Chains A and B, each alone.
Chain A
């Protein structure tokens, strides 16, 4: 079964139940007085996504670019099935892994090993696969002696390494990735990038939300510019990036060298 993502006319809006608008008092009052009822019907709604259409097939590497609050992360979450459509339809075929939260379910009071086991269970892995997962993660994150100690006492660097290793340890058919993923200290980043490239190379569809032109140019073949919840431009990465940034983009020398090593 080959993977696919189809987003048709997707709109998402978040009702803002701010202050006491969310309270029972208002709900009760609004049914008793006409004015409040009108108030209630005109409740404040944030339109996070408006009529988004996307079609992705195996081999597609899509970058989502756009300013803060443009709807990039919300779109990732909608494609991951976390937010169900308010209007429209989302269809995703293939095993899916969404990396939207750096500390996804990581519990600081559990040991590193317990966290790894738990994540494995969330992913629906069997016992043997979870053992493999623990070995792989521990090796990459260099946690040797700390693996059986609570995450709470880890250094910040160790937590970042553990989170990163965990998130990149399973290979889905469809990978949805948020930009937080590319942040990290320089020393670690070199090793991290290698692992990430390995992962990205193995997935059938990649959707990456990013601000970093280098990464987008190197990894993606197509870009979508999100603006206020709408798709403002959709096309080849360089073109869309130029429109978005307002100046011609070029891969840096460093990125050129890396992508010369082999396309992703």
Chain B
């Protein structure tokens, strides 16, 4: 009986782990983790898709429930706030719809990031896999959800005929930045939350506060002369690099510059933390 599948020896087949690591070794190991994690994009995609399918298995509309609930939320809040703030509906609803959809992506991503490693404890303790794989999984999962919610933005723009024009394509480089930032959040928050169990509630509080401070449901212009202060808010700057082009208005150079600066800080901090603690994560679970 020769039925078993042979595991092919590959370059991954050599495992060389040593305790007395210098920063050079740590950097190499972290880089290898990220490279190998991303090279398994097919597995990442399959896992993310399964997450969505499992959540909505047996439901008639499946993930389009997300679209419907987001649509209902936008309609209700849009009308209420347009009345409260005395805003033009045709101007405000597309803005609010887009803001809520994009913010929803960020907020869900941050919440999932806190549980990246703790939720995959069983897997991490039974097979060696790049940690980046788990972070990439939640990024892709949330991108799939974003794609469903984005239908709301398209519907609103069609109904009110408020298309942003060609400038909207400039949201694509913004999305690329978001991908990098998302992966960093997964690795950084995942590791911090595995080690310090107080971090998730802190993060949850922070995100709630950021929702109100980041011009999601109100417009930056409403701040008047003090609009520049929004550049101090990393959440706002990052939101704006994708939202701005999609409502037909490029963000100011100040906001773009700040977004790049905050992202760069996040990249560096994530790299330092991840390279330092990567080998310890399995011990904390």
Known: A23-B197, A24-B196, A91-B16. A169 touches B5 (CB 8 A): yes
Residues of B within 8 Å of A, CB-based: how many? 45
Provide the residues of chain A in CB contact with B10, threshold 8 Å: 95, 124
- Write the residues of chain A forming the contact surface with B, with a CB cutoff of 8 angstroms: 1, 11, 14-15, 17, 22-25, 27, 77, 80-98, 100-101, 103-105, 107, 109-110, 114, 117-118, 121-125, 129, 132-133, 136, 139-140, 168-173, 194-195, 198-199, 202
Q: In this assembly, does B122 line the interface, its C-beta being within 8 Å of a C-beta of chain A? A: yes
Contact A84 B282 (CB under 8 A): yes
The closest CB in chain A to the CB of B124 belongs to A82
Grouping DSSP codes into helix (H, G, I), strand (E, B) and loop, the B interface class, with mixed when no group exceeds half, is mixed
Answer whether residue B9 sits at the interface, using C-beta atoms and an 8 A cutoff.
yes
Tally A-B pairs: CB < 8 A.
Answer: 144
> When A23-B196, A91-B16 are in contact, do A82 and B3 touch as well, CB less than 8 Å?
no
Q: Which residues of B contact A81 (CB under 8 A)?
A: 15, 17, 128
Q: Which residues of A contact B202 (CB under 8 A)?
A: 24
Report yes or no: B42 in contact with A121, Cβ–Cβ below 8 A. Answer: yes
Query: A22 touching B196 by the CB < 8 A rule?
Result: yes
Contact of A110 among B8, B50, B128 (CB under 8 A): B50
Given known contacts A136-B3, A172-B7, A95 and B283 CB-to-CB distance under 8 angstroms: no
The answer on a CB contact under 8 Å between B19 and A88 is yes
Determine how close the nearest CB of chain B comes to the CB of A17; give it in whole angstroms. 8
When the two chains form their complex, are residues B13 and A27 in contact, meaning their CB atoms are under 8 A apart?
no
Give the complex CA separation of A86 and B283 in angstroms.
Answer: 10
Contact (A125, B5) CB under 8 Å given A82-B124, A101-B122: yes
Asked, given contacts A23-B198, A88-B19, A118-B46, whether A94 binds B9 with beta carbons under 8 Å apart, the answer is yes
Which of B7, B16, B19, B284 has a CB less than 8 Å from the CB of A171?
Answer: B7
Is B127 a contact partner of A171 (Cβ separation < 8 A)? no
